[in-house]
Chains A and B, each alone.
Chain A
Amino acid sequence: MEEAESYPPIDPSNFDLIVIGTGLPESIVASAASAAGKTVLHLDSNPFYGSHSASLPLNDFIPFIQSESQPQSRNLTSDDYVSTPVATRPLYSAVETNSYSSEPTENSRKFNLDLAGPRVLLCSDSMIDLILKTGINQYMEFKSVDASFISSADGGLENVPDSRSAIFKNRGLSLTEKNQLMKFFKLVQRHLGDDETEDDKISDQDLESPFVEFLTKIGLSQKLKSIILYTIVLADYDQENLEACKDVISTKSGISRLALYHSSIGRFPNANGAIIYPIYGQGELPQAFCRRAAVKGCIYVLRMPVVAILNDKDSGEYKGIKLVSGQELFSPKLIIAPSFTIPSTPNHDAQVANSDDVSLSDTKKVARGICITKHSLNTQVANCLVFFPPRSLYLEQSTSVRVLQLSSNVAVCPSGMFVTYLSAMCDDNVQGKKLLNAAINALFSVPISGNSENSGASNLSEHAEEKPCLLWSTLYIQELTTFQGGLDSISKTPMPDEHLHYTDLLDATEKIFKEIYPNEEFFPSINVSNDDEGGGSELDS
């Protein structure tokens, strides 16, 4: 009884929509539904916003992924409804943390560590468009990721020539390669241009073929192909092993990703390149959408676990939820975060239960890592991306390893430190760890006291002195869940995906919104007033 008293009663008890979990997809749907005039209740059992999209202080990070590594369940009964207990399933595994210095943990609150890193925004991508459309750029600020690097054959890092000026300044390319790349960028530009001359267009046959074959056909060097495929088009899998490749990128989609990248350069006058990152971390995004929702009337209750789903006794239909406080709340629609499972009851199959079983048999995984150092990977830049294309770390490397280093100028760590995120797609934990450890060994000097398994460290020792020394690191494997909406009343949001950008996650989120509200616009256009002209508020209306 004591516990129940600390949970405040929620009034009213009927809503158009209840959303459980404040991850980015849940927060966007809550915001979109509120903007469409729906009454929305948004709950989270955690004391912070963001769920699986959160940015956390260092000392809160490990406990969170560990708590989400074990299944949990609660059981409560209801008098009037069939009550199906809500359980959570593990989404993180193989968590492995190494601490070589006490300095990071002593400054825990100065860190904002992304659970789903590395992730960035392209200035012209659909997430930026949504940020501007909803006006949440009033709640957030961004800074440039200054440069991109690709690991070179000799183990060093070379600048990615992603624009004309970058090609011009690049020192790693031969003159022939520079000309080839310049010609290729022009070819893409002509293809996308308005001139309706057939000669300027890439043929339909080429557009449907694998991008790697097109790049070979027009005569690009191996190095240039690698740069385009893995640092600009951001391919996950080895594109040159077409039989084993799980995601072959077509020329059509390659060209459109390249176009997105190029249109991102120069979109904002004082951005250095195509890529930006939010100050204080990715966790600002769900919070900004939640504030937007709150301004539109959405009710927010953190620290409020949901224990059961309530179903109608006769029809078995979803009716509402039961909170840990015992209170029952009702809505025609429910959105739940990906960590929840609802086991089917003997008499009434819960509406989303089956999809869990299906998805578990064929889940993809992403290996993620975070490293903290006192020195930058490159003394010229504070925030940068690094790419290890397939086969660049070792022969059997079949997926790309992506790395994002951030500095204190985006307020993710104390002054004088750097946070580096790594990720790679993998089939299992062993493969995932091997990928990340190989990249970590290539980038950092790992103190000997650590217990990570470093097999191929011999050829790296010569560079060891120049490399930043690890202060703290963690590696973990995250499950990737696919979109599971469309089951009548309950929709489940996806986990943050393996990509470097938000485009796919945003598409999936819009789809969920469209499934539950087919007649509503996903964020109707509004005039967002400029923040120096009075804030866009409607007080006292």
Chain B
Amino acid sequence: MASRRRVLLKVIILGDSGVGKTSLMNQYVNRKFSNQYKATIGADFLTKEVQFEDRIFTLQIWDTAGQERFQSLGVAFYRGADCCVLVYDVNVAKSFDNLNNWREEFLIQASPPDPENFPFVVLGNKIDVDGGNSRVVSEKKAKAWCASKGNIPYFETSAKEGFNVEAAFECIAKNALKNEPEEELYLPDAIDMAGGQQQRSAGCEC
């Protein structure tokens, strides 16, 4: 079956504003980090090719595009996700407390066929800040929460230092691949619009 489904994996990154969602994906895909924080403008999604057992997959990582700021992500954002990454800032207690809301919001909006086994991955970001002295959420506490939600894989990361980012996304990709898609949606294939007189260009618009 030549379904696009088998090669394209949709990953969405959720979490409070300012926890480093855009930085994490940027570090993973472009190996870049910017110290200047501004609420996300211009971030859409990034893609990266990953290889598993001789097969190449395209990981499509979707940013919230700032629509998470007032909890205004529409249902379309969540649809068809193969893996949901939940990010919090280890230095901000509220961002950890809100993980539960983000997880529930995802399960309601995306309504995956098997919610119990839908792949989530949790990232505790910004472990580099102040040499770890300003940290308020312990690794133990985070791991306990992950365990209580069906053993969600947990990673501590620093998007700034690039620490553990590669490993986290490797796990994300692996889990996305395990997700069983709803076959019916991909039979027959969706319309191929790129072939329809669309102006093609290789560069990005920046």
Q: Decide whether A and B are members of one complex.
A: yes
Smallest distance from the beta carbon of A275 to chain B beta carbons, Å? 11
User: Does residue A415 face the partner (Cβ distance < 8 Å to B)?
Assistant: yes
In the complex, the answer to whether B198 meets A529 with C-beta atoms within 8 Å is no
Given contacts A408-B184, A409-B185, A528-B199, contact A276 B75 (CB under 8 A): no
Q: Inside 8 A of B194's CB, which chain A residues have their CB?
A: 137, 530-531
User: Does residue A182 face the partner (Cβ distance < 8 Å to B)?
Assistant: no
User: Does residue B197 face the partner (Cβ distance < 8 Å to A)?
Assistant: yes
User: Does residue B1 face the partner (Cβ distance < 8 Å to A)?
Assistant: no
User: Does residue B69 face the partner (Cβ distance < 8 Å to A)?
Assistant: yes
Given contacts A270-B192, A280-B79, A284-B76, contact A291 B65 (CB under 8 A): yes
A141 to B45, CA, bound (A): 16
A8 to B16, CA, bound (A): 14
> Which of A268, A284, A296, A300 meets B70, CB within 8 Å?
A300
Q: Inside 8 A of B197's CB, which chain A residues have their CB?
A: 132, 267
In the complex, the answer to whether A535 meets B45 with C-beta atoms within 8 Å is yes
A529 to B192, CA, bound (A): 15
> Which of B34, B70, B191, B202 meets A540, CB within 8 Å?
B34
In the complex, the answer to whether A291 meets B204 with C-beta atoms within 8 Å is no
> Which of A8, A531, A540 meets B47, CB within 8 Å?
A531
User: Does residue B58 face the partner (Cβ distance < 8 Å to A)?
Assistant: yes
Contact indicator per residue, chain B 77-118, by CB within 8 Å of chain A (1) or not (0) = 101000000000000000000000000000000010000000
User: Does residue A448 face the partner (Cβ distance < 8 Å to B)?
Assistant: no
In the complex, the answer to whether B41 meets A296 with C-beta atoms within 8 Å is yes
A293-332 contacts to B, CB under 8 A, are 294-297, 299-304
A440 to B117, CA, bound (A): 42
User: Does residue A518 face the partner (Cβ distance < 8 Å to B)?
Assistant: no
In the complex, the answer to whether A295 meets B43 with C-beta atoms within 8 Å is yes
In the complex, the answer to whether A538 meets B42 with C-beta atoms within 8 Å is yes
A402-424 contacts to B, CB under 8 A, are 408-409, 411, 415
In the complex, the answer to whether A539 meets B26 with C-beta atoms within 8 Å is yes
B184-202 contacts to A, CB under 8 A, are 184-185, 187-202
A18 to B7, CA, bound (A): 40
Closest to B4 in A: A141
Smallest distance from the beta carbon of A146 to chain B beta carbons, Å? 9
Q: Inside 8 A of B66's CB, which chain A residues have their CB?
A: 294, 297, 299-300
Q: Inside 8 A of B199's CB, which chain A residues have their CB?
A: 527-528
> Which of B65, B79, B198 meets A132, CB within 8 Å?
B198
Closest to B198 in A: A132
In the complex, the answer to whether B193 meets A132 with C-beta atoms within 8 Å is yes
A19 to B9, CA, bound (A): 34
Q: Inside 8 A of A303's CB, which chain B residues have their CB?
A: 71-72
Q: Inside 8 A of A284's CB, which chain B residues have their CB?
A: 76
> Which of A48, A142, A529, A530 meets B75, CB within 8 Å?
A48
In the complex, the answer to whether A529 meets B203 with C-beta atoms within 8 Å is yes
In the complex, the answer to whether B71 meets A537 with C-beta atoms within 8 Å is no
Smallest distance from the beta carbon of B83 to chain A beta carbons, Å? 17
Given contacts A132-B196, A141-B191, contact A291 B41 (CB under 8 A): no
User: Does residue A38 face the partner (Cβ distance < 8 Å to B)?
Assistant: no
Smallest distance from the beta carbon of B192 to chain A beta carbons, Å? 5
User: Does residue A371 face the partner (Cβ distance < 8 Å to B)?
Assistant: no
B106-137 contacts to A, CB under 8 A, are 111
In the complex, the answer to whether A409 meets B42 with C-beta atoms within 8 Å is no
A301 to B60, CA, bound (A): 26
Q: Inside 8 A of B204's CB, which chain A residues have their CB?
A: 529, 534-538
B164-206 contacts to A, CB under 8 A, are 184-185, 187-206
User: Does residue A526 face the partner (Cβ distance < 8 Å to B)?
Assistant: yes
Q: Inside 8 A of B203's CB, which chain A residues have their CB?
A: 527, 529
Interface size on A, residues (CB 8 A): 61
Contact indicator per residue, chain A 510-541, by CB within 8 Å of chain B (1) or not (0) = 00000000000000001111111111111111
> Which of B41, B77, B195 meets A269, CB within 8 Å?
B195
User: Does residue A393 face the partner (Cβ distance < 8 Å to B)?
Assistant: no
> Which of A123, A279, A529, A540 meets B205, CB within 8 Å?
A529
In the complex, the answer to whether A271 meets B191 with C-beta atoms within 8 Å is yes
Interface size on B, residues (CB 8 A): 51
> Which of B69, B187, B200, B206 meets A541, CB within 8 Å?
B206
Closest to A410 in B: B185
> Which of B22, B32, B76, B185 meets A287, CB within 8 Å?
B76
User: Does residue B44 face the partner (Cβ distance < 8 Å to A)?
Assistant: yes
In the complex, the answer to whether B76 meets A139 with C-beta atoms within 8 Å is yes
Q: Inside 8 A of A257's CB, which chain B residues have their CB?
A: none
User: Does residue B46 face the partner (Cβ distance < 8 Å to A)?
Assistant: yes
A288 to B197, CA, bound (A): 21
In the complex, the answer to whether B201 meets A143 with C-beta atoms within 8 Å is no
In the complex, the answer to whether A279 meets B42 with C-beta atoms within 8 Å is no
In the complex, the answer to whether A527 meets B192 with C-beta atoms within 8 Å is no
Q: Inside 8 A of A536's CB, which chain B residues have their CB?
A: 44, 204-205
Q: Inside 8 A of A191's CB, which chain B residues have their CB?
A: none
In the complex, the answer to whether A294 meets B67 with C-beta atoms within 8 Å is yes
Smallest distance from the beta carbon of B44 to chain A beta carbons, Å? 4
Smallest distance from the beta carbon of A252 to chain B beta carbons, Å? 25
User: Does residue A49 face the partner (Cβ distance < 8 Å to B)?
Assistant: yes
In the complex, the answer to whether B72 meets A301 with C-beta atoms within 8 Å is yes
A142 to B189, CA, bound (A): 9
Q: Inside 8 A of B185's CB, which chain A residues have their CB?
A: 279, 409, 411
A270 to B189, CA, bound (A): 8
In the complex, the answer to whether A409 meets B206 with C-beta atoms within 8 Å is no
Given contacts A143-B188, A280-B76, A535-B47, contact A295 B195 (CB under 8 A): no
Closest to B23 in A: A540
User: Does residue B156 face the partner (Cβ distance < 8 Å to A)?
Assistant: no
Q: Inside 8 A of A290's CB, which chain B residues have their CB?
A: 67, 74
Q: Inside 8 A of B43's CB, which chain A residues have their CB?
A: 295, 537-539
Closest to A297 in B: B41
A136 to B34, CA, bound (A): 27
Given contacts A49-B76, A123-B196, contact A539 B46 (CB under 8 A): yes
Given contacts A49-B76, A287-B76, A411-B185, contact A267 B196 (CB under 8 A): yes
Contact indicator per residue, chain A 10-51, by CB within 8 Å of chain B (1) or not (0) = 100000000000000000000000000000000000001100
> 23 A-B contacts, Cβ less than 8 Å apart?
A49-B76, A123-B196, A132-B196, A137-B194, A142-B191, A144-B188, A268-B196, A271-B191, A283-B76, A287-B75, A291-B44, A291-B76, A294-B67, A295-B65, A297-B66, A529-B201, A529-B204, A529-B205, A530-B194, A530-B200, A535-B45, A536-B204, A538-B204
Q: Which 5 A-B pairs have the closest CB atoms?
A: A538-B206, A141-B190, A527-B201, A287-B76, A49-B74
Known: A142-B190, A528-B205. 14 other contacts (CB 8 A): A132-B198, A137-B193, A268-B191, A291-B76, A294-B66, A529-B204, A532-B47, A534-B47, A537-B42, A537-B204, A538-B204, A538-B206, A539-B46, A541-B42
